[in-house]
Amino acid sequence: MSKRKTVAVDAEQLVAEARKALFVVVGLMVVVWAVQVANWGTDYDLAREFAVVSSDVGRLPDIFAAPLLHWSWQHIESNSGPLFIFGFLAAYRGVRRFFGLTLLVAVTSGLAIWFFEKAHIGTVGASGLVYGYFGYVVVRGFVDRRLVDSLVGIVIGASYAYTLNLAVPGTPGISWLGHLGGLVGGVVGAWIFRERTGGGASEKPDHPRGELHRELRDLGLM
């Protein structure tokens, strides 16, 4: 296959994955908001019932339900924008990896709360996923050695670096443990779900900028 045809195929695959990523993330947002409507309709009984509670073995499975629940409309509104942006950026290179990443981040965020939060405090919210996707997007390009993704990671990291102060102790009413656990899960996920190639000579770019040029062509920028 000629280089021109290979570039066209790669571009089509990238666009197809981005389209699937958009559908998946929009679907995730629909689920989160539908759950919020049901939660609000029960006077937030769902949030109380499925919150992660530290050291309560019976509540441990709730680490998978808690990210879909919120304590108020303000709570879900504050999470929705970052969840959509970081979620799409995390998913556009492959939705299967995105599903695996989401599961991993839910576990690391939930376990951080379950092990270390004060007793009798119930925690819910998608912010653990938000921080997980953020960490993944920031480091993915460096792990995968994709120059465009590395640039995206730098921009996102610089633009949203201020959010990291919510992943350390100090802000009352904020589950910094869930944020920190999600962030760690996202960074670890970038390594676990990294792209693996055979590393043969035929896969090396023709010149030092070859990989960047190929990715820019895939995005239609060259």
Binned at pLDDT 50, 70 and 90, residue 112 comes out as very high
Q: How far apart are CA 210 and CA 44, in angstroms?
A: 54
Query: Is residue 218 domain-resident?
Result: no
pLDDT at 195: 85
Q: What percent of the chain has pLDDT over 90?
A: 71
Query: Is residue 213 domain-resident?
Result: no
Q: State how far the alpha carbon of 147 is from the alpha carbons of 27, 139, 144, 211, in Å.
A: 29, 11, 9, 7
pLDDT in tens, 177-222: 999 999 999 999 999 999 876 444 334 444 444 555 555 555 554 4
Domain containing residue 118: CATH number: 1.20.1540.10
pLDDT at 120: 86
pLDDT in tens, 41-53: 999 999 999 999 9
Contacts of 161 (CB under 8 A, 6+ apart): none
Mean pLDDT of 172-178: 88
Query: Is residue 159 domain-resident?
Result: yes
Contacts of 182 (CB under 8 A, 6+ apart): 105, 108, 109, 112, 127, 128, 129, 130, 131, 132, 135
pLDDT at 186: 98
Query: Is residue 83 domain-resident?
Result: yes
Of the candidate ranges 34-48, 78-92, 168-182, the one whose mean pLDDT is the lowest = 168-182
Checking if the pLDDT of 70 tops 80, the result is yes
Higher pLDDT pick, 6 / 151: 151
pLDDT in tens, 133-171: 999 999 999 999 999 999 999 999 999 998 888 888 877
Q: What percent of the chain has pLDDT over 70?
A: 84
pLDDT at 170: 75
Query: Is residue 141 domain-resident?
Result: yes
Query: Is residue 74 domain-resident?
Result: yes
pLDDT at 196: 75
Q: What is the pTM of this model?
A: 0.86
Number of domains in the chain: 1
| Residue range of the domain that includes 182 | 3-208
Query: Residue 112 CA to chain centroid, in angstroms?
Result: 17
Checking if the pLDDT of 26 tops 50, the result is yes
Query: Is residue 217 domain-resident?
Result: no
Query: Is residue 215 domain-resident?
Result: no
